[in-house]
Amino acid sequence: MRALVFDGELRVDEEYPEPQPGPGEALVRVTLAGICNTDLEITRGYMGFRGVLGHEFVGVVEQASDPAWIGRRVVGEINCACGVCVTCRAGRPTHCPNRTTIGIAGHDGVIAECAVLPLENLHEVPEAVSDREAVFVEPLAAALEITEQAHVRPTERVIVLGDGKLGLLTAQVLALTGCDLLVLGRHERKLGILGRRGIPTLQVHDELDLAAAGVAAADLVVECTGRPEGLAMARRLVRPRGRLVLKSTLHAESPLNLTMVVVDEITVIGSRCGPFAPALRLLALKLVDVESLIDSEYPLSESLAAFRRAIAPGALKVLISG
């Protein structure tokens, strides 16, 4: 089959072996996949991954150990847990020490004609959700994980730092809580997506811009910049005894003054994967706009061009069709 492979260099392999589903697994014909910032970081050395890239997708089940799944349109969670360890039995499968992660660690990804996933990872896509919407389920679920981890009160002041794909999704999710929300970013066009939905935004590039704008410290700051310096800026935006949620995954060191984290008694929350079912509901109810986040779409044969577009300044979500 055709697949986008990273083995130290990025290439399209026209004859990559088609995966075969085992017990409890399904073979999914991938209809549409998305390029995530994590995919870009992998090509820079993140996680030391080798294999088929990609973890955001929608597709149709072609083979399955449970025939009831065959023919269903699905999305899939990315963590493949062992199901038997202490962590899994405690109900924390996304942190299973034996897990593989689709397209990121130990498990081939979905930028290919086909992919294999555990049946327990699959979620059927409602008819009300298009393929172009469904491909956003995984990052939208990651945005929803913030509200799973931190109770966001309508009375709280919240800042989202970063106007990339995840930042735009996170802002839309947090806006549903009724909080006093402000999104800080660098790109007028991207911030305009939120502005059209009535979400307050401010274009800033550095600390001088922040100072000139008089941005007040927030109860909760969510760091979605995807940049090493974003963490330090996010920390400075949190009030004493406030909360800082970290969403960026980077193949880089991030400087942070831990002394002031202690002095100001900041709660730091790492936030990764989230719940798929609520993400599908938000899309079905049209409570989150993802169509505006789509930058471009390429066929699988032009995956290298798709990656070049994805790393271009200002690019949003680049899709690859099977």
Cα separation, 110 vs 103, in Å, equals: 7
CA distances from 66 to 23, 27, 29 (A): 9, 11, 16
CATH at 149: 3.40.50.720
pLDDT digit string, tens, across residues 65-90:
999 999 999 999 999 999 999 999 99
Query: How many domains does the chain fold into?
Result: 2
Question: Residues 5-31: what's their mean pLDDT?
Answer: 96
Look at residue 170 in the predicted model and tell me its pLDDT.
Answer: 98
Inside any domain, residue 284: no
Look at residue 252 in the predicted model and tell me its pLDDT.
Answer: 66
Q: Do 39 and 104 have their domain in common?
A: yes
Look at residue 6 in the predicted model and tell me its pLDDT.
Answer: 97
Q: Do 130 and 185 have their domain in common?
A: no
Question: Residues 232-238: what's their mean pLDDT?
Answer: 91
Q: Does the pLDDT value for residue 50 go beyond 90?
A: yes
Instruction: Give the other-Cβ count within 10 Å of 65's Cβ.
Output: 13
The residues with which 73 forms a beta bridge, in sequence order, are 60
Instruction: Note the Cα 111 to chain centre separation in Å.
Output: 15
Per the structure block, which two tokens stand in for 117? Answer: 């996933």
Look at residue 227 in the predicted model and tell me its pLDDT.
Answer: 82
Percentage, residues of the chain above pLDDT 90: 86
CATH at 313: 3.90.180.10
pLDDT category, 9, cuts 50, 70, 90? very high
Cα separation, 246 vs 242, in Å, equals: 13
Question: Residues 265-293: what's their mean pLDDT?
Answer: 96
Q: Do 11 and 50 have their domain in common?
A: yes
pLDDT category, 219, cuts 50, 70, 90? very high
Helix (H) or strand (E) holding 170: helix 165-175
Look at residue 291 in the predicted model and tell me its pLDDT.
Answer: 96
Q: To which residue do tokens 């390029």 refer?
A: 35
